[in-house]
Amino acid sequence: MQINNYRPRFEAVFLLFFVFFVSCLLRLVFIQFFRSSYLADLAKKQHNLYLELEPLRGTIYDTNLKPMAINLPAESLFVSPCEIKDTDKESIIKQLIPILNADENFLQDRLYRRKSFVWLARKMTPEQAEAVRALKIKGLGFIKESKRTYPNSYLASHVLGFAGLDNTGLEGMELAFDKYLKGKAGWALFLRDARQRKLDIWEEMVLPKDGYNLVLTIDEVVQYIAERELDKVFKSSHAKGASIVVMDPHTGAILALANRPTYDLNNCSKVGKDQIRNRSICDLFEPGSVFKIVTLCAALEEKKVNEEDRFFCENGSYRVVSHTLHDHRPHGWLTFREVIQLSSNIGTTKVAQMLGPKIVSRYVKRFGFGKNLGIDLPGEINGVAKEPRQWSKISIAAIPIGQEVGVTVLQLASAISVIANGGQLMKPYVVQSIQDKRQETIKEFSPFMIRKVISSDTAERAKKILMGVVENGTGTLAKMEGITAAGKTGTAQKLEPNGTYSHSKFIASFIGFAPVEDPLITIVVVVDEPHPYYFGGVVAAPVFKNVASDIIRYLKTNQIPRQMVRRNED
C-alpha cells in the first residue's frame, strides 16, 4: 500500500528530471551546432589580445646620407577600464591630467568605457612615461612605438613635410612618398590570463615590413646656407613672405628650397596654413622684370635682334594704345644689351613688338611657364600664360615685362637654368633614390630633359648679357669677389583687390647663376612685400651674392659627378 502511494510522486520526480535532462541535452545540441562559433570567438577575445605591430617608417636622408627625418622609440599609454574599480577612476583621472596635459572629459570618456583596451596617450615623452609609471596604477599599460623626429627642426620643413601620430605622411615628401616610407603593419595575438592580463606568450604573429628610405637631392649644408640668408632678408625687410630655390642647372636637382614664414617640424600641431604652405611651388605672382629673359632669348634665337642693335627708349615714357609705359629711370638710345642690363621696359616692349604675340607666347610656353613642371613635391600649380587669342591690345607691352602672367618661384628657377645649361629645360626633382634597409637601391630617379628651348649659341650670348646685369647693370649688388655671376633683377607691383597695380606693395626678386663659365648653381630669390626698400637689385640681389659665394666654395670642395640626362623622346 505504501509503495503504491509513493509511485505517483516517484513518477513525477522522474518526469521532472527527464524533462530537465532533455532540456539540457537540447541546449547542448543547440550550443554545439548553432552557438559554438560565437562562444568560441567570445572565449578567444577574452583570452587573446590582438595588437597591431607598427612598422618602422623609412628614414629620409639628404644627398650625403645625413638623416633629416628619423624614428625614435616612444611609449604609448593604454588602459583596461574593466580592471579598474569605478570608485577609483575619478582619483586616477585627477592624477593623469597634469601629466598628460589632457582634458578631464576626454579621460572620463576613456576610463568609463566597457572595454579591455583603450588608448590614453600616444607616443609620450620619456618624462611623461616615467611620471605615469611612478603612479603604479593597476590597469594602465605601455606599448612601445616609434615617433617621427626631425633632427634639424626648421631646416627644409617645406620639403620634408611631416607625418601624423599614426606615421602617415601629411605634408611634403612625407605625403608624396608615403607609400614607400610607411611600410606594412604586422599583428600578433597575445594570450591573457583569467584576469585578462597580457602574458608574454603569442599565439600567432605576422611581423611588420619596415618602410623604404628616401635619399634626396637636398644638400643639408646648402639648405642651411640658403635658409640662413633668406631668414635675414625676411626679418630685415619686414616682408610678408620670402622664398629661395637653389638648383643644379644641368640636372634639375633641387639642392635647397625654403620659404618664410616657416615652422618647427617637431612641433607642428598648432601651425597655421600660411606657415605650412610651400610658397615656392604653389604661390602665383607676376614676376616683373626677371621675365625679360624670355624676350631676350626669343629675340636672339629668332635672329630678329643682335646685341648692338639700338632702340630709342623715349626718355622714359612710351604710349602703347591707351596705356603709357614707363621706365624706372628715363633712357634715350640704348643697345639691346643695355636694354636688358638696365632693365628698360620700353626697350623690351619694342623688341617684343618686333617679334609679335605668337613668337613671344611660344617662347613663354617653351620656357615652362603656364604648365606644371612635374616636380615630385605635392601642391605644384601650373601658373598662368595666356594664349595670343586672349591677349588684349596692351598685352604686347605687359607680358614681355612680366605682367599679365602668373609664375612660381620654381618655374623661374627652371627658366634661368635653361640659359645656364646651354638651352635645355630640365624637370626639377627632389628625390634621388629609394633604398631598402640594406641600402640597396629600389628605385632611382635620373635627370630628365623636358625639351630643348634655345640653341647653345643663344644661351652663350644671353649669358654674356646677363653677366653685364651683374657687372654694370641693375644687379651690381650680386657681384662676388673672384666668382663670375649672371642674373636679372625684378621689381613687380602687386595687384590690389580692385584690379589696379599697387604703389606700396611690391615683389622683389633676383634670378641668376654662377660661375658663368661653368654654372654650378642657379638661384632664385623672391621677397614678398619688403619695406622700406623694395627693388629687386637692392633687396634680393645681396641674398643671391651671399648664398652663391658660400655654396660655390662648399661645392668645389665636395664636388659630386653629375648624373646623365635622360631626354624627352616626344
CA distance 349 to 205: 72
Residue 431 dihedral angles phi and psi, to the nearest 5°: -95, 125
CA distance 113 to 110: 6
Residue spans of alpha helices (H) in 271-356: 273-276, 279-282, 292-301, 336-341, 345-355
Strands, E, within 184-342: which ranges?
186-192, 198-206, 213-216, 241-247, 254-260, 310-312, 317-320, 323-326, 333-335
Q: Output the nine-digit C-alpha cell for 440.
A: 640597396
Residue 565 dihedral angles phi and psi, to the nearest 5°: -100, 130
- Type of residue found at 96: L
Q: Output the nine-digit C-alpha cell for 228.
A: 640662413
CA distance 234 to 237: 6
Q: Exactly one of 289, 343, 344, 414 is catalytic; name it.
A: 289
Q: Which residue has the cell 645656364?
A: 420
**3-state SS assignment for residue 387:** coil
CB atoms within 10 A of CB 107: 21
Contact 373, 417 (CB under 8 A): no
Q: Which of 308, 267, 296, 560 is nearest to 453 (CA)?
A: 296
Half-sphere exposure of residue 291: CA atoms within 13 angstroms, side-chain side: 33
Q: Output the nine-digit C-alpha cell for 423.
A: 638651352
Residue 289 annotated among the catalytic residues of the structure: yes
CA distance 27 to 49: 30
CA distance 544 to 513: 9
Residue 532 dihedral angles phi and psi, to the nearest 5°: -80, -25
Q: Which of 159, 129, 144, 172 is nearest to 71 (CA)?
A: 144
β-pair type (67-79, 118-124) = antiparallel
Q: Which of 152, 151, 184 is nearest to 167 (CA)?
A: 184
- On the question of a cis peptide bond just before residue 519, with omega within 30 degrees of 0, the verdict is no
CA distance 178 to 439: 18
CA distance 23 to 25: 5
Contact 377, 432 (CB under 8 A): no
Q: Which of 281, 215, 554, 285 is nearest to 428 (CA)?
A: 281
Q: Which of 164, 158, 198 is nearest to 181 (CA)?
A: 164
Catalytic residues, by residue number, are 289
